[in-house]
Structure 1
Amino acid sequence: MVGIIVVVLSGLVSAFLPEGILPEFVREPFHAGGLGMRLILFSLIVSLWLMIDRAVALMRASFDTRTFTESVRAALQQGNVQGALAMCQQADRPLSRIIAAGLAKSDQGEHEVQAGMDEAAYGELPQLEKRTGFLALMGNVATLMGLFGTIIGLIHSFGVVGQSQDVSDKATKLAAGISEAMNCTAFGLFTGIVALVAFSILNGKTQRLIDQINHLSLRVYRSWKTARGAENTSAKPVGAPHAHLQSTGLLKHGAGGHGGKKSTFANLQLTPLIDMFIVMVIFLLMSFSASGAITAVQRDVKLPFAEKVAKLQRALVLAISYPEGDPTGGVVTLEGSEVSTAKDLLDDSGPDWKISKLTEQLQIHKNNWKVTHPNESFPGELIMLVDQNVNFKIIKKVMYSAGVAGYTNLLFAVTKKASSEGGGGGGGGH
């Protein structure tokens, strides 16, 4: 009944948990993971309850068994069966209750003592293993829930590729779908690892406790048998309990050890590995083309013939910018390097219009050109990029400085003239 209540409460918590109460580093991945994250959260909550429940049960069943067993054996060797029985009733642990069930039938003979211990073991040992196997189940369920969330995220990704027309929107939604898939995978793996590790630890401790109960109860039985002097050859040997109680494994002994011992390890699912490979393959395929389309190259493609075969010539670029709000009033640059500011040129009211730094830089470029073209005349070409709101005084000073340096072929880069309302076609470049 307690287990059913815990499962129902875990389902309600995982379904209605407000994301706002989560830490910030968990909140965003939890939200991006979608429905799969809440399903995995259910497995995590149930797993945590199982860990606490089994750990408390093992702590209650554990005590100083060696000291207790030696005290009981000492009492039996002295013939004090009632004293040994009182010790068992006072300890009130699985081991002591199993021994007490046998000692209570001391007056009925060896076989009844052995059968009493076996019968008590039927009730005590399953309680030690109770619910432990569900931890392995929750670990595997968590990985499957992670796979389920991953598939949902990939379905969203494929849906986006098929519906959206905007390439940038496709890429954004595709990344969101992949994020949902990866978050579910990570959370599912984390929960599965926690549950399976806890199962291995708790199941290992449970099996060691059961082995200890088997061993110590057998020693107490032998001490009782020796003290009673029960050497009746017609009695069944210790290793052969009553037929209907043999399945408990209690009091079995021999060279082969105890039979039917459970493994402390849960089966490892390969689902997370397959899940990760699926996500990686889909992600690589989608990253190859943001639009999801692969263009096939035709074998008979022919490149067009070039129409302009004249050798391209490079000209220097001079720019005069006038950005709004600039305290310097803009700058004059040659090939990206500043040669003056608009404010300095406007404030200079002297008779010489030459910009010294600009003239020097232009002459250096001119001399370099003559070195590489010794038998050609200098073309003196200079491309000028000028903002529309630049003061004409600045333009005149720049043109004068260029002329002094030998650049007389000035080319202005302009925008196309806008068409007037109701008028004819647009004008040419200016």
Structure 2
Amino acid sequence: MELTNILMRLADRGGGWVLIVLIILSIVSIGVIIEKAILYYRFQRETKKLWSLMKSHLEEKGLDGAMDILTQTKSPVAQIISHQLSSLNSGPEAASEAMEAEKIMVKMNIEKHLALLGTLGANAPFIGLFGTVLGIVHSFKGLATSQQGGVMTGISEALVATAVGLWVAIPAAIFFNFFKKRSNDMMAYVDAISHLILKSYHMEKAKKLNTYTKLNSK
């Protein structure tokens, strides 16, 4: 009964306060979208450049000088790969483990605040629906003392909360999926460069072994 009274008091206020909450959430969502759009645009450009440089360098010169390319590139991918490259002296398995550990931390950092967009995309319509329900209850409470037209006006105004909820949710859901795709693409570049590094490592190791074998056979 106490809960019912609380809900009825909320209904007496209508759904206007829900609109205020949704507008605040919309502003926060737009801020996150702008921040991540700038961030991922820069990261994507730097990552593609790094991929091109590392691919050509590893194919032509091997591992020598590869670290210089990584230190000159301000990219999360370069940060991850540098951990692998600096750990190669401990063996390819240790290098891969070092890379995976850094990869997890970097991914957590670049996906920071994305959960907010996902949450808004999934739940903003329900917040709007809650405001609509409160508005409809408020309208029907005044049915006995109001004209029918006034009640219908109140219902139509209450439905605005649902529309605003969708207005907040749709961009949040779209950009959440878009940014997650960008993040996964970056991690795919990490794996691709990592495989090239391991390939160069094994080729250089095999070359040194062949040279050593030839010298000993003489």
Relative to the length of structure 1, the TM-score reads 0.41
The residue type equivalent to 1:192 in the other structure is A
1:67 to 2:44 alignment: no
Q: Secondary structure at the match of 1:161?
A: coil
Higher helix share: 2
Q: How does 1:364-383 map to 2 (within 5 A)?
A: none
1:108 to 2:90 alignment: yes
- How far 1:214 sits from its partner (Å)? 1.6
Q: How does 1:63-142 map to 2 (within 5 A)?
A: 63=46, 64-74=49-59, 76-77=61-62, 80=64, 83-142=65-124
- 1:179 equivalent in structure 2: 156
- How far 1:65 sits from its partner (Å)? 3.4
8 Å contact kept, 1:76–1:223: no
CA distance in 2: counterparts of 1:196 and 1:108, whole angstroms: 43
Higher strand share: 1
CA distance in 1: counterparts of 2:111 and 2:194, whole angstroms: 18
- How far 1:156 sits from its partner (Å)? 1.2
- 1:224 equivalent in structure 2: 201
Q: Secondary structure at the match of 1:141?
A: helix
8 Å contact kept, 2:19–2:164: yes
- Bigger Rg, which one: 1
Instruction: Flag the structure with more relative contact order, 1 or 2, with Cα contacts below 8 A and sequence separation at least 6.
Output: 2
CA distance in 1: counterparts of 2:153 and 2:17, whole angstroms: 14
- 2:30 equivalent in structure 1: 48
Identify if the C-alpha distance between structure 1 residues 231 and 36 changes in structure 2 by more than 3 Å, giving closer, same or farther. farther
- How far 1:192 sits from its partner (Å)? 1.3
- How far 1:33 sits from its partner (Å)? 6.1
CA distance in 2: counterparts of 1:86 and 1:122, whole angstroms: 23
Identify if the C-alpha distance between structure 1 residues 174 and 160 changes in structure 2 by more than 3 Å, giving closer, same or farther. same
CA distance in 1: counterparts of 2:207 and 2:99, whole angstroms: 17
CA distance in 2: counterparts of 1:113 and 1:130, whole angstroms: 26
Identity %: 24
8 Å contact kept, 2:124–2:169: yes
- 1:4 equivalent in structure 2: none
1:148 to 2:130 alignment: yes
8 Å contact kept, 2:25–2:168: yes
- Structure 1 alignment gaps of length 5 or more: 1-31, 233-430
- How far 1:41 sits from its partner (Å)? 0.7
- How far 1:143 sits from its partner (Å)? 0.6
Relative to the length of structure 2, the TM-score reads 0.78
- Structure 2 alignment gaps of length 5 or more: 1-13, 210-218
CA distance in 2: counterparts of 1:130 and 1:231, whole angstroms: 44
- 1:415 equivalent in structure 2: none
